[in-house]
Amino acid sequence: MLYFKPARLGDAGLDDKALKADRTACRNFGPCGVGEKALYLNSLFLDRRFYVPASNVQRAYKRVALSKGGFTGKGIFGSIPYLVVEYGKGESVQCTFKHESHVDMMLAEIRLRFPHIRTISEAAARRLAEAQAAEEARYKKVLSPTAQASVDELRRALTFLEQRPDLTTRLAALSKARRVDSLTNPLHKWVALAIFCFALAASIYGASVWLSGAGDYGLYITLLGLAALFFFAGANVLPTVRSNSRALTAALDRARRELADYIADYPDFPVPARYAHPATLARMIRSLREGRSETVPEAYEDMKSVLRSLNSSVKVSQTEYDEVVAIKPMFLLENYE
């Protein structure tokens, strides 16, 4: 495997031998990566160009920037996901990702490998504490013995599931991708591919005309062709080896099997593997603590009922929004069965 030595960020570093071994074996997530000893971060043009030893990292969290189109529902661009890493003495770096799911999976890997690294910003931590205090006020002060036993059972299952955030994050990301794919007209992808091929041919033709000196119009044809190529390459609409229905279905099935194998060691896990996510169990616990259910099966049905009723017109807290975005595609794919 070809190895390029990444540049160090901050004062702390690794010796060359340890750095090479760690960089070569790191897990890649989009343009960045997570090793056993360091985080590998991208530059503007190169993937994993820099590294920060994990011992020198204080925080790593997701930030999503919305363009005007993201706020209004109009325009070409929507959200742009970033990974922000705070390290050293108040230093930070922001890494741009193409897919938000890659940021989520990388953060899950960071939580798994480096528990000391906080994965939410200070502002988000304060908002989360305020939201949790408001949520606690809605809970019943005293639960019945049956409800309390159900809460304890779900908490044990939640603790077990949280030991493998990589599996649950991958399941959520692939469920979302498969749901989006199922709602996309396949014809649109092939039309985009046809336009992409036409733009590629126009770029080649324009370049040949311009280089042969037959006319300056060849330069304009090349630029227009390249603009179309970059647009469709970045819009994630082209059918590729990984972004087609068959590949997404196979990847989702594999993620479900891996999660099913993991929870097989847990006696009588409370939800099916295809819905096994910390947010699912957290919402079931909330149902019990708010007095809407008494047993685990009742909490499961109540959770599905509430989840089914949520849509774009319902206003929810940021915590609940994150939960719904993570798990609702799983249930929609299976029609809540």
- What value does the mean pLDDT take over residues 255-268? 91
On whether both 255 and 152 belong to a single domain, the answer is: yes
On whether both 211 and 227 belong to a single domain, the answer is: yes
pLDDT in tens, 48-82: 999 999 999 999 999 887 544 433 444 344 568 88
Its domain, for residue 305, covers 140-183+243-333
Q: Is residue 326 part of a domain?
A: yes
Q: Is residue 128 part of a domain?
A: no
Q: Is residue 154 part of a domain?
A: yes
On whether both 167 and 300 belong to a single domain, the answer is: yes
On whether both 154 and 294 belong to a single domain, the answer is: yes
CATH code where residue 42 lies: 2.30.29
| Residue with more model confidence, 68 or 276 | 276
pLDDT tier for residue 123 given thresholds of 50, 70 and 90: confident
Q: What is the dihedral of CA 120, 125, 127, 129, to 10 degrees?
A: 140
- The percent of residues above 90 in pLDDT, for the chain, comes to 39
* Number of independent structural domains in the chain: 3
Q: Give the pLDDT score at 246.
A: 82
Q: Give the pLDDT score at 265.
A: 86
On whether both 111 and 154 belong to a single domain, the answer is: no
On whether both 158 and 271 belong to a single domain, the answer is: yes
The pLDDT of residue 16 is above 70: yes
Q: Is residue 134 part of a domain?
A: no
pLDDT tier for residue 282 given thresholds of 50, 70 and 90: very high
Q: Is residue 2 part of a domain?
A: no
Mean pLDDT, all residues of the chain: 83
Q: Give the pLDDT score at 235.
A: 56
pLDDT tier for residue 120 given thresholds of 50, 70 and 90: confident
Q: Give the pLDDT score at 284.
A: 93
The pLDDT of residue 104 is above 70: yes
| Residue with more model confidence, 323 or 187 | 323
The token duo for 335 is: 């029609």
- What value does the mean pLDDT take over residues 101-125? 89
Q: Give the pLDDT score at 77.
A: 43
- The percent of residues above 70 in pLDDT, for the chain, comes to 88
On whether both 47 and 112 belong to a single domain, the answer is: yes
Q: Is residue 308 part of a domain?
A: yes
Pick the last residue of a domain from 117, 150, 173.
117
On whether both 162 and 304 belong to a single domain, the answer is: yes
Q: Is residue 169 part of a domain?
A: yes
On whether both 224 and 314 belong to a single domain, the answer is: no
Give the predicted TM-score (pTM) of the model. Answer: 0.64
Q: Give the pLDDT score at 78.
A: 52
On whether both 166 and 248 belong to a single domain, the answer is: yes
On whether both 179 and 286 belong to a single domain, the answer is: yes
Q: Is residue 126 part of a domain?
A: no
